[in-house]
Structure 1
Amino acid sequence: MKEPLDRMLEKDYLYCEEVIKKHSRSFYYAFSQLPEEKAKAIYAIYAFCRRADDTVDMAPTAAQQRKNLDRLEHELTLFEEDRPVDNPVWRALTDVFERYPMNIEPFYHQIKGQRMDIDFTSPDTLADLEDYSYYVAGTVGLMLLPILAKRHTQEATESALTLGIAMQLTNILRDIGEDLKENNRVYLPNDILSQENYTIEDLKNGSITAAFIRTWEQLASRSEALYDHFKKDIHLYDPESQLPVLISANVYRGILDAVRKSKYNCFDKRNAVSLVEMDKIRRETKQFLKA
């Protein structure tokens, strides 16, 4: 006997919620404070992005990665044609697309970003890195925007892109050691490394030198400038979205300070913002929005 649709959909959203709870404590902490309908929609989009990420990171070979992404892109095409694959993520996303004025293009661009990781080459410049960051993270901002802001202005679109890129730069600065050891990827731009006379061999040795710190801080300064720019645009979001969105930005920005507190050890340590610090950020963010 088939379950009633609403009960099945509730289970689908619970599945997506478990995905975000497992993989991103900071995002879950922030977005769980949205009204329930909006929070569920965020969880479904996160579950799609997590799957896109895992198709590359969990596959043992480039051939398998391409095969996995081809399958995911085929499923996305079926979804666009109103023939979604019967699994929790696609069922939840079907509901999201019915409730909100979603755009399918960022979902395809997210998959393109994952393909860039398969055929990876280190970026030559910061502009190259930000172009990559658009595909893997700016797209997420565009996916979430119809849920978080009813008014789809160009200003709001640029704000969502800005936040996504800022967060991706933060990810890169947090995961330098992990990206190198597990995936043989160096996202630090070649021109900055050359300018600071810091080599790939230095990276492989986990050398935290003055040159490394200057390199790291150049990218951190850019990320923080983007966070500052986004913060000025918080009024573009729905009133009930402003606190959760700004908390997510401030918590993620806090990762940069966590790396600094650990004396820039991002080679054999995954720096994070503690729950105590998250609560402090939440209180400070509420005060900022009241001011």
Structure 2
Amino acid sequence: MTSTMSVRDDFAYCEQIIKRHSKSFYYAFSRLPEEKAQAVYAIYAFCRTADDSVDENQESETQLSALDKLTSELNHFANRQEIDHPLWRALRTVFDSYDMDLEPFYDQLKGQRMDISFSTPRTLEDVETYSYYVAGSVGRMLLPIIASTSTRDCTDAAISLGVAMQLTNILRDVGEDYRDKGRIYLPSQELQKAGYRVEQLASAQITVSFIEIWEILAQRAEVLYDEFLEFIGDFDKDSQFAVLASAQVYRGILTSVRQNDYDCFARKNFVTKREMIRILADSIV
């Protein structure tokens, strides 16, 4: 029988991961009731582990091996034969407490595999498909916790929020993704249509054409944020602040890039602490 102390230790392990890697998410979700906050920490820890399988290994063969290992562990978990590790013990508690679905966990791993065998997406639809697997899946994972009493299906809203956040990541990290990974997540169809060349991106040229492409993705993200907001009243009352705050802080990154004249090459765009406090205050519903 698992003791209360060891369960607390398992969730404390997961909490340290989100606290270390995402202060804004931690701040928002730590406002949830303790049991829900712990569940979110465990899900975040799983997603972080999946991310690290790719980010902490250089060679694709090593990355795939790490993902194969994590997939095997998830398979064991699915059969209630999870390994003895704080992450999996915490997730078992979550699955025993909420009406969880394993599919988005597998989708998250599929997204990581898509990242390993990366090729520049051709269309905006391709970008959104990728964004679903790496981020929309997270919205689906969290749904049974933050919309547990909803009489309305919030699945599409949760996916819209996840995809919007991933599009925001892509738009914030254009320069870093190319410089550090040699990757272009902006759709090639839009690059060609606007006449913006890879050589221009490589030399960090912020032209009218670049801004046009950037805004196509940004405006799509804004539409998805708005689609999510239409459902905010259907999320659990005790979860609305955390979800809304996270969405609005992330959306604020788009404003930050615009205010910095679309420089997502040399500047690190983020929401300032002062602006974050204002957003969080406005998110009290």
What is the CA RMSD across the aligned residues, in angstroms?
A: 1.4
Within the candidate set 81, 84, 88, 2:82 is matched to: 84
The 8 Å contact of residues 146 and 152 in structure 1, kept in 2 or not, is answered as no
Q: 1:155 aligns to what?
A: 153
Q: 1:138 aligns to what?
A: 136
The 8 Å contact of residues 145 and 160 in structure 1, kept in 2 or not, is answered as yes
| 1:75 corresponds to 2:73 | yes
Cα distance in 2, alignment partners of residues 231 and 43 from structure 1? 23
Partner SS for 1:239: coil
| 1:169 corresponds to 2:161 | no
Partner SS for 1:84: coil
- What letter matches 1:194 in structure 2? Q
The structural deviation recorded for 1:260 is 1.5
Identity of aligned residues (%): 52
Which one is further off, 135-144 or 213-222? 213-222
Q: 1:17 aligns to what?
A: 15
Q: 1:218 aligns to what?
A: 216
The 8 Å contact of residues 150 and 235 in structure 2, kept in 1 or not, is answered as no
Q: 2:283 aligns to what?
A: 285
Alpha-carbon distance change, 94 to 178 in structure 1, aligned in 2, over 3 angstroms: same
The structural deviation recorded for 1:213 is 1.1
Aligned length: 285
- What letter matches 2:229 in structure 1? K
- What letter matches 2:33 in structure 1? P
Superposed, which structure 2 residues align to 1:13-162 within 5 Å?
A: 13-151=11-149, 155-162=153-160
The 8 Å contact of residues 259 and 271 in structure 1, kept in 2 or not, is answered as yes
- What letter matches 1:276 in structure 2? R
The structural deviation recorded for 1:19 is 0.8
Cα distance in 2, alignment partners of residues 138 and 264 from structure 1? 25
TM-score (norm 1): 0.95
Cα distance in 2, alignment partners of residues 17 and 274 from structure 1? 24
Q: 2:251 aligns to what?
A: 253
Cα distance in 1, alignment partners of residues 27 and 256 from structure 2? 17
Unaligned segments of structure 2, at least 5 residues: none
Partner SS for 2:153: helix
The structural deviation recorded for 1:179 is 1.3
The structural deviation recorded for 1:208 is 1.2
Cα distance in 2, alignment partners of residues 37 and 266 from structure 1? 38
Partner SS for 1:155: coil
